[in-house]
Each structure stands twice: as C-alpha cells, then as structure tokens.
C-alpha cells in the first residue's frame, strides 16, 4: 500500500503495529487470505513498546515462550529476552507473513464512526499534517493501553533546582553517558528493577529509591527445561511444551497468591534472603505491605538486581522524597542522596484506544458507560474488537486468544451472511471496575475505562485456561452477541 492514497476500504482495519497488531495481521494472512486489511501505525516504525523503549537493559518481564506468538516459536537463548531481540522477532513475523506491505506508518487514528446503514466504520487518521479516511467492516484496536507520548511523571518539589540530568525511561536520551556517574532511579516496578542492574555495570553507583517495596523473584535467564527439550524434540514441539510448562507455572503461582498469600510471601522472602548478603534489611526493602500479585510480581534474570546489590554497585533506599536539591534528593528521613542523574521510573500513563474518539451513528461512545464482553468487545459498539493482554501473565497469551476469536467470528459471519455484530448490554449485570489490579497506572485511570460485569461473559477472569474455553472455544450464539444482516 502507498501512503499517497487518501481513502482505503478494507474488510478489517487494525490499529497498531506492535506485538498485538502484527499478531492480528499475521492471523488474517494465515487464516483469512480472502480478507483485505490495513494496519494503521501512529509511529514511523513497527514494534510498538519494543521500539519505543530504549533505556539500558530494556527486556521482557515475561518469559518469551508465553510472550511469543503461539504460531511462531521463540528460538532465542534467553527466556527473559532483551528489547532488541523481541523487536527483531516481531518484525521477522511481519515479514514472514507479508504484513509489512499492509502497514500505513505515521497514521495516528483520531476518530472512528460506525454507520449502521452501511455496516461500515469510517476511521479518520492524521498523516503528514492532513486527515485521511479509511473505511472498514471490522475495526480492531491493537494500540495497547498506555500513552506513547508521555509517561506518568509526577512533579517533585524543588526539581528545578537539581543541577544534574533528569530523565524518564519512556524517552531515554540516546546520548546520555552515565559511565562513572552517580544515578538515582525513582521507582520499584519492572522498569526500575531492569534499569538498576543494567546501569550498575558502568555507573559509579546506582540507588533504587522506592516509597514502597515490590515482590521480586530471581529466575534463570535461560530456561534449562527448554534447553533440554530442544535437543529431544523438533522446534515446534519443544516450543509448545515449554510454552505450556510456563503457562502452568505462572498460572499456579498466581493461584497460589490468591489462595494462600501468606505461604507464598514466606517462600519469596526465603528466596530473597538467600540471594542477598547476610544481615541485609530484607524486610525493610523487599517486604511489600500487600499480597503477591496485588501488583505485578517482578522477575529478575539470574538474580541480576540482587547480584548488583551484593557487589556494592547498587543499593536500595526505602523512603519518601521531601524535595529535590541542587545535588540530588532530600528524603523525609533527612538523608540526602547525591546524584548526577535522576531517572524517574514512575510508571505509565494509561490511555485507552490511543485516545481516539468513537461514535456509533453519530452518538459518542463514552467508555465508562460501556461494558466489556469477554474483555475484547464493548456493549453497544458494533464490529469493534480490542486486544488488551493479561496483567498477571504474558500479554500475548490473551492477544492470541483474541485473534482466535476474531478468526472464528469472521468465518461465522460470512457463513450466515451477517454484516454486523455487537454484544447487547444486560441491565441485570452488576458493574465492576475493568481491572482488579492495584498498579498505580491502573488506579489513576480506572474511571476512564469500560466496566466489567459480575458474571460471564462480562466478567474478566485473568485466567488463560478459563479463557481458552471462554474465548477460543466459546459459543458465538450465546444470546449476548446480536447479529444483523
């Protein structure tokens, strides 16, 4: 496709050329070659998150056997892979399935309107300072859940007085030289625990400054079971077994956290004590005031964070910020952390569907007034599907299931000559917040999201095994989905 055209009419329009969008397009190429499609990408390149984030050590916080696509085996040596390797995997998939030629880069979707009479979406995108229009039978949002333009960046008292360099991981300066510098990383989430050991190799010292500890678990950087399986089985077979093994391990760990959180706390604490020097204040710095998986459990490959702390190249400080100073950060305790560079790893800013607006026959779709059907469609919004991954497991597990659902739905609608489908709202279903997850980026924007329900098919289970039955194999004539010709 050439960007010179101003209007295109396709069967399926995918928004986003990241991990989800490329997977969605590859499904269409494999299973529905009769369908025309286009992919609109707001940025000038593909890859989404894995091209955007360039900070030192950027990597997955999920194993690649479940973060990878079900249909394309991951052949890298590392289970928790680095960002460039994941980006190469995504782009290799796009090339392998001919998706590249369907992507329209620098096309930012700003508005979408459904016309019931025509049974088509009209989608407006900004490109090169102009607005271009696309029409599609099915609109599929794969744009993720956060704001690509800016991360969550709370203001800090006195930050203007700081004489050093202040950076946010989402927009890492390419020319930032931290060799021999004193670095303070504010935060304790996945980004912070990745940055600290990566920067500690060259920095004079790296301090992770956290207000609240996080549960952190050391795991092997390479999966020893998979390494053995590769010698015994063909590529697809070893990948499938490793994938299922890791699905069961992660599912079991999450269920353990829900059913017996205190026993899991004890196991995590023992592992942390073992990984750190004798006498280290484990309970001060690695004992959160919440249960495991109330917020995401952070994985560190080969215990690299603990290794950096043990070697004295990194340290953890648990305290609150009173103010920035010219030389660093003054804490509520009175301690001052001197720094040449301060990294604000303070999280993401959630933005549903890229911040674009939607209307149905001219009436605005107000997301908080909709309810999510199987966490992939919205009540009252025809021919619209969205992909949002799990919060307690690998993103792509859910993305693959959504693709399976769309594939079955397209086939079913063609067989019965239906032109539109939408989940019909049920007033008797009780409303719940879309995500039952205490991460800051979710809590800050929970009122801007659709609702989930108190029972199926409106209830979000966050359970891959359940969703295999519910999404991949669930009935398309469940009485909730309403079709029209």
Q: Residue 41's closest CA among 9, 1, 69?
A: 1
Task: Provide the CATH topology of domain 7-149+349-484.
Answer: FAD/NAD(P)-binding domain (3.50.50)
Question: Mean pLDDT in the chain?
Answer: 94
Least confident among 113-117, 325-329, 449-453: 449-453
Question: What does the pLDDT look like over 150-208, one tens digit per residue?
Answer: 888 899 999 999 999 999 999 999 999 999 999 999 999 999 999 999 999 999 999 99
- For the domain covering 159-218+247-344, report its CATH number: 3.50.50.60
Residues carrying CATH 3.50.50.60, the chain:
7-149+349-484, 159-218+247-344
pLDDT of residue 150: 85
Q: What does the angle CA 61 – CA 239 – CA 250 come to, to the nearest 5 degrees?
A: 40
How many secondary structure helices (H) and strands (E) does the chain include?
A: 13, 25
Task: Collect all residues with Cβ–Cβ distance below 8 Å to 39 and sequence separation of at least 6.
Answer: 14, 15, 16, 17, 21, 22, 25, 99, 102, 103, 104
pLDDT of residue 295: 87
pLDDT of residue 443: 62
- Give the global pTM: 0.93
Instruction: Evaluate whether 199 touches 183 at the Cβ level (below 8 Å).
Output: yes
Instruction: Evaluate whether 212 touches 288 at the Cβ level (below 8 Å).
Output: yes
Kindly state the tokens that stand for 207: 């301090």
Pick the residue with more confidence: 441 or 312?
312
Distance between CA atoms of residues 81 and 147, nearest Å: 24
Question: What does the pLDDT look like over 225-273, one tens digit per residue?
Answer: 999 999 999 999 999 999 999 999 999 999 999 999 999 999 999 999 9
Kindly state the tokens that stand for 145: 């859940």
Instruction: Evaluate whether 381 touches 114 at the Cβ level (below 8 Å).
Output: yes
User: Over 60: is that where the pLDDT of 15 sits?
Assistant: yes
pLDDT of residue 3: 44
Question: What does the pLDDT look like over 338-397, one tens digit per residue?
Answer: 999 999 999 888 888 888 999 999 999 999 999 999 999 999 999 999 999 998 899 999
pLDDT of residue 114: 98
Distances in Å between the Cα of 272 and the Cα atoms of 111, 222, 275, 299, 351 are 48, 20, 5, 12, 35
SS3 (DSSP) at 200: helix
Instruction: Evaluate whether 142 touches 21 at the Cβ level (below 8 Å).
Output: yes
Give percent of the chain with pLDDT exceeding 90. Answer: 88
User: Over 90: is that where the pLDDT of 5 sits?
Assistant: no
SS3 (DSSP) at 59: strand
**Beta strands 328-331; 336-338: pairing state:** antiparallel
Element (H, E) at 91: helix 83-96
The per-residue DSSP string of 64-78 comes to: HHHHS-TTS----S-
SS3 (DSSP) at 252: helix
User: Over 50: is that where the pLDDT of 19 sits?
Assistant: yes
pLDDT band at 2 (very low <50, low <70, confident <90, very high): very low
Question: What does the pLDDT look like over 42-97, one tens digit per residue?
Answer: 999 999 999 999 999 999 989 999 999 999 999 999 999 999 999 999 999 999 99
pLDDT band at 461 (very low <50, low <70, confident <90, very high): confident
pLDDT band at 6 (very low <50, low <70, confident <90, very high): low
């Amino acid at each position: 496709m050439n960007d010179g055209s101003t209007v295109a009419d396709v069967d399926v329009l995918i928004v986003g050329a990241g991990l989800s969008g490329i997977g969605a397009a590859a499904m269409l190429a494999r299973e529905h070659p009769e369908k025309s499609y286009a992919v609109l990408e707001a940025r000038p390149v593909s890859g989404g998150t894995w091209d955007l984030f360039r900070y030192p050590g950027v990597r997955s916080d999920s194993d690649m056997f479940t973060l990878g696509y079900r249909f394309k085996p991951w052949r890298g040596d590392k289970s928790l892979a680095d960002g460039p390797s994941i980006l190469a995997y995504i782009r290799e998939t796009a090339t392998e399935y001919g998706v590249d030629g369907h992507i329209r880069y620098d096309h930012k979707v700003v508005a979408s309107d459904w016309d019931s009479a025509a049974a088509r979406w009209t989608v407006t995108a900004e490109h090169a300072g102009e607005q271009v229009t696309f029409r599609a039978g099915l609109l599929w949002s794969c744009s993720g859940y956060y704001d690509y333009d800016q991360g969550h960046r709370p203001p800090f008292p006195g930050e203007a007085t700081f004489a050093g360099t202040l950076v946010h991981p989402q927009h890492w300066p390419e020319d930032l030289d931290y060799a021999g510098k004193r670095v303070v990383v504010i935060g304790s989430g996945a980004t912070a625990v990745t940055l600290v050991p990566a920067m500690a190799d060259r920095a004079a010292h790296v301090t992770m400054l956290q207000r609240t500890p996080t549960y952190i678990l050391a795991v092997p950087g390479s999966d020893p079971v998979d390494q053995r399986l590769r010698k015994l089985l063909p590529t697809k077979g070893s990948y499938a077994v490793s994938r299922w093994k890791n699905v069961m391990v992660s599912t079991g760990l999450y269920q353990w956290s829900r059913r017996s959180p205190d026993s899991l706390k004890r196991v995590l604490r023992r592992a942390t004590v073992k990984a750190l020097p004798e006498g280290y204040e484990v309970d001060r710095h690695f004992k959160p005031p919440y249960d495991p998986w109330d917020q995401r459990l952070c994985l560190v490959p080969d215990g690299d964070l603990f290794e950096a702390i043990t070697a004295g190249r990194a340290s953890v400080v648990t305290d609150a910020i009173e103010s920035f100073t010219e030389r660093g950060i003054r804490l509520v305790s009175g301690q001052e952390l001197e720094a040449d560079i301060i990294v604000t790893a303070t999280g993401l800013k959630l933005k549903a569907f890229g911040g674009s607006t939607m209307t149905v026959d001219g009436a605005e779709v107000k997301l908080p007034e909709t309810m999510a059907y199987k966490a992939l469609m919205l009540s009252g919004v025809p021919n619209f599907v969205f992909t949002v991954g799990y919060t307690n497991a690998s993103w792509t597990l859910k993305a693959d299931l959504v693709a399976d659902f769309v594939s079955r739905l397209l086939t079913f609608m063609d067989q019965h000559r239906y032109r539109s489908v939408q989940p019909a709202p049920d007033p008797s279903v009780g409303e719940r917040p879309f995500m039952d997850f205490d991460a800051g980026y979710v809590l800050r924007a929970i009122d801007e999201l659709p609702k989930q329900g108190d029972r199926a098919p409106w209830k979000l289970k966050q359970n891959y095994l359940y969703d295999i039955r519910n999404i991949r194999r669930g009935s398309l004539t469940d009485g909730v989905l309403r079709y029209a010709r």
